[in-house]
Each structure stands twice: as structure tokens, then as C-alpha cells.
């Protein structure tokens, strides 16, 4: 009787870097399906966040423009002496001095409002899982939320600037466009990151409102938006120079007027631009570490 031999073939183990496949065409366990950046997921999150605030654009974009324009009207009439702002500050009419600070202040406040709502609304409504479950890395999640907040800030800035062009005595011609773009971007990113940290920490809307009322609003209003810090006592000038909002507003104003109260030369403005970039990198790293830890997000 002939003997029958059966040979068993053992499949070789997948080598490192090879695309191993599991049952029914799925990737083997432990092998990532998405390599690199999840562009589709990142874009989807960004579009979702933009559509969320754009659905109520009357409140999120146009209302800040009207509110900021009211600030301009009140302060130019009260301090400038007339609707056009006859008084001069830094060699320009008061209305032209005031307008850039109000624009970037509105941008920063709305960047904070947008990102501070993202996780907080999910935690309160119980839909936080919709942000945490998709295959997005911590960096992609943070980038999508911050980018949407910067988009809202840019739209608010355009709306506020367009409204101010209709006001007599306001000149928004740009002396240094790079400074307008850079300081506007740095200010929006800074407040978007701060808003994201707030949404992680807060457990109810009152907590976010407290940060807005006791941190964001005072730092915005006491940062040289309505005045030059040279009018302050030396001690208060030192306090103002420790406020990062001051450098955003003064640098943004420099982009329009070609002068500011940061320093007497352009080197001080460039140093402020670099300092804000380093500050945002540090704040971004801290936000990333906090988001990665899952503090107050994962139970």
C-alpha cells in the first residue's frame, strides 16, 4: 500500500514594513490602515467645525462686526472729539489708530469662542465620543479645531474691517501687509489654543464664561487697544508688556500704520513677531500634551 504524505505549508511571517492582510481583506491586527496624516478625516473635522459656526453666522460673524463698530463709534466720539476722531495718536487720527486694535481684538475673542465650544458642548450633550472615536491622531484633532477657529477669526476680521470702512475718519490702508497677516494669525492661534484648553477643563458653560470674563476680556481691553501704553505709569507699562495680547494688537496696528508702541524701530516689531511664534509653540505643545492625556475627556 502506497503511503500518502501530506505537506503542510507554513506562510512566512510578514516582514517589517510589509502590508499584511487579515481575514476577508482586512489589515492584520496591529497593522495601521491609515499611514501618515489622515487627510480625509482632518478635512472632515475642519469642515464640520466651520459649518457649525457658519450655520449661525448672524451670531458668530456679523454680530461681532456690529458690536466692534459700536466700540469705534463710542470711543471716537468720547475721546476723539468728533465722529471722525479729530484727536491724533501716533501721528494719525484717533479713529484710524483705534480701528486695527478693535479688528484684531474681535478676531481673537471669536477664535476663543469657537474653540472653547468644541469639546465643552460634546461633554455637556454626551456627544464627545463623536470627536474621540474617529481615526484621528491627537495632532490632527487639535489642528482641525484650531484651524476652524482661525477661519472664524479671519471672517470676523474681514467683516469688522468692512464695516469700519464705512465709518468716517477711518483709514485702513496697510503699510506692512506681512505684519497684518502674521500678528492676526498669531493672535487667532493663541486664543484658539487657549479656548481649546478651556473646553477641555470646563465642565459647564459657566466655566467657559468665567475664563472669557476674567481672563480674555481684561487682557484684551487692557492691552493698548484704546490707548498707547506710554501714557501709563512705568509700573503699569511693565504689566502691559507682560501681556501677550499687547504684542498682537500693537504688531497688528503696526501693519496698518507703520508705527506702534512696541518699540522705536522695526527690530522690536520683528522680535515681537518671533516671540509670539515661540509662545504659540509652547502653548501648542502644552495643549497637545493635555489633549493626549485624555484629562476630563476619557472616563
pLDDT in tens, 118-144: 889 888 888 888 888 888 999 999 999
**Structural domain includes residue 138:** yes
Domain carrying residue 271: 39-293
Residue 139 C-alpha cell reads as 495632532
Beta-ladder partners of 11? none
Band (pLDDT 50/70/90 cuts) for residue 86 is: low
Question: 3-state DSSP call for residue 88?
Answer: strand
Among 20-24, 195-199, 226-230, top mean pLDDT goes to: 195-199
Q: Taking a C-beta distance cutoff of 8 angstroms, is the pair 91, 104 a contact?
A: no
**Structural domain includes residue 299:** no
Residue that is written with C-alpha cell 450633550 in the block? 125
**Structural domain includes residue 10:** no
Phi and psi angles of residue 70, each rounded to the nearest 5 degrees, phi first: -65, -40
**Structural domain includes residue 32:** no
* CA-closest candidate to residue 254, choices 178, 196, 189: 178
**Structural domain includes residue 30:** no
The predicted structure's pLDDT at residue 166 = 85
**Structural domain includes residue 61:** yes
Counting the structural domains of the chain, the total is 1
Q: Taking a C-beta distance cutoff of 8 angstroms, is the pair 204, 262 a contact?
A: no
**Structural domain includes residue 172:** yes
**Structural domain includes residue 15:** no
Give the predicted TM-score (pTM) of the model.
0.86
Task: List CB contacts of 90: < 8 A, sequence separation 6 or more.
Answer: 97, 228, 257, 259, 260, 261
Mean pLDDT check: name the lowest of 52-56, 89-93, 179-183.
Answer: 89-93
Q: 88-89 and 92-93 as β-strands: parallel, antiparallel, unpaired?
A: antiparallel
Amino acid at each position: 500500500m502506497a503511503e500518502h504524505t501530506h505537506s503542510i505549508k507554513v506562510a512566512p511571517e510578514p516582514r517589517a514594513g510589509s502590508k499584511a492582510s487579515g481575514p476577508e481583506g482586512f489589515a492584520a491586527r496591529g497593522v495601521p490602515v491609515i499611514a501618515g496624516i489622515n487627510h480625509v478625516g482632518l478635512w472632515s473635522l475642519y469642515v464640520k467645525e466651520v459649518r457649525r459656526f457658519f450655520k449661525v453666522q448672524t451670531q458668530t460673524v456679523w454680530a461681532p462686526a456690529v458690536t466692534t463698530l459700536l466700540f469705534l463709534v463710542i470711543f471716537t466720539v468720547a475721546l476723539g472729539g468728533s465722529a471722525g476722531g479729530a484727536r491724533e495718536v501716533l501721528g494719525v487720527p484717533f479713529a484710524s489708530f483705534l480701528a486695527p486694535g478693535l479688528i484684531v481684538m474681535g478676531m481673537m475673542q471669536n477664535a476663543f469662542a469657537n474653540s472653547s465650544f468644541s469639546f465643552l458642548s460634546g461633554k455637556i450633550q454626551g456627544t464627545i465620543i463623536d470627536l474621540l472615536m474617529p481615526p484621528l491622531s491627537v495632532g490632527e484633532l487639535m489642528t482641525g479645531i484650531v484651524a476652524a477657529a482661525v477661519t472664524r477669526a479671519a471672517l470676523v476680521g474681514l467683516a469688522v474691517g468692512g464695516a469700519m470702512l464705512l465709518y468716517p475718519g477711518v483709514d485702513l490702508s496697510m503699510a506692512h501687509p506681512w505684519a497684518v497677516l502674521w500678528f492676526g494669525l498669531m493672535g487667532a492661534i493663541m486664543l484658539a489654543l487657549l479656548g481649546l484648553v478651556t473646553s477641555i477643563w470646563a465642565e459647564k458653560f459657566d466655566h467657559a464664561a468665567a475664563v472669557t470674563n476674567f481672563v480674555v476680556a481684561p487682557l484684551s481691553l487692557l492691552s493698548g487697544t484704546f490707548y498707547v501704553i506710554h501714557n501709563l505709569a512705568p509700573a503699569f507699562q511693565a504689566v502691559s508688556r507682560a501681556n501677550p495680547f499687547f504684542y498682537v494688537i500693537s504688531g497688528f496696528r503696526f501693519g496698518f500704520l507703520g508705527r506702534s508702541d512696541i518699540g522705536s524701530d522695526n527690530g522690536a516689531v520683528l522680535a515681537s513677531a518671533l516671540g509670539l511664534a515661540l509662545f504659540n509653540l509652547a502653548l501648542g505643545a502644552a495643549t497637545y500634551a493635555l489633549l493626549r492625556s485624555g484629562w476630563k475627556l476619557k472616563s
